[in-house]
Amino acid sequence: MDLKLTVSDDVRVLAPGFTYVAIEAHDLVNGPSTEASSALLDDAARRLAVRLAGRAPHEDPHMAAWREVYAGFGSKPSRTRNSAEALAKRALSEAGLPRINLLVDLYNAISVAHLVPVGGEDTDRIQGGMRLLRATGDEDFVTVAGGEETVEHPDAGEVVWCDEAGVTCRRWNWRQGPRTRLTEETTSGLFLLETLAPMPVAEAEAAGAELAELLEKFSPGARIEAGAAVSVSQA
């Protein structure tokens, strides 16, 4: 895998059950959402409903584990939900899941169907490697508020993903910055599936394999490299 990912020791201590699966893809074809990607999102919502069997998303053991970790670095999990719980809540609402663009639809469908946080980054916009660490509070997070670009700073101790230019995602996987997000012009992407115990590693890898298959299906000829699950307790 071309892009280097590192997890800091203080994150390992906070979440010793953290495991991730990374998929790097090149020569992708993106564009507006399609009927096919919309159908995948609808199917993912149905799979989620079966998985939860009437429970709320936060009652799922995997989502409960994420809430515990969020609380561990000072974020109120009922206010700042991990990305999978937030998507699941939308999937079960009358409004349903948003349609963003083709590539985002694909990874959102996997996130909802498997109840696992999944992110996508445009690797052509990433500067250097990606690091998961606990912030000092001085790092820059460039976002957009009220149509204007603005710079925020994470809370001290908050878990963030960073590259050499600054924070790419706040509160682990809560809010991605616009600089590295997947747009309709994206041709190279990093897709990251993030899990905690008690989700089995085999299920994380199965979700990653399903995403890799979807990327191949919707971008014929793309070069896709799916890594094995990496557990921070073993890395």
Q: How many residues does the chain have?
A: 235
What confidence score (pLDDT) does residue 149 get?
Answer: 87
Q: Using an 8 Å Cβ cutoff, are 179 and 125 in contact?
A: yes
Q: Among 83, 75, 37, which Cα is nearest to 57's?
A: 83
Rounded Cα distance, 173 and 31, in Å: 24
Domain count across the chain: 1
Which helix (H) or strand (E) is 63 found in, with range? helix 61-72
How confident is the model at residue 176, as a pLDDT?
A: 95
Per DSSP, 227 falls in state P
Token readout for 197 is 């115990």
- Alpha-carbon distance 167 to 154, whole Å? 8
* Rounded to 5°, angle at Cα 108 from 49 and 29: 140
pLDDT digits (tens), the chain, 235 positions: 678 999 999 999 999 999 999 999 999 999 999 999 999 999 999 999 999 999 999 999 999 999 999 999 999 988 999 999 999 999 999 999 999 999 999 999 999 999 999 999 999 999 999 999 999 999 999 998 888 889 999 999 999 999 999 999 999 999 999 999 999 999 999 999 999 999 999 999 999 999 999 999 999 999 999 988 999 875 4
Determine the pLDDT at residue 235. 47
- Domain holding 173, by residue range, is 5-231
Domain CATH number, residue 26 = 3.50.40.10
- CA-based nearest residue to 70, from 15, 120, 141: 15
Distance CA 58, CA 64 (A): 6
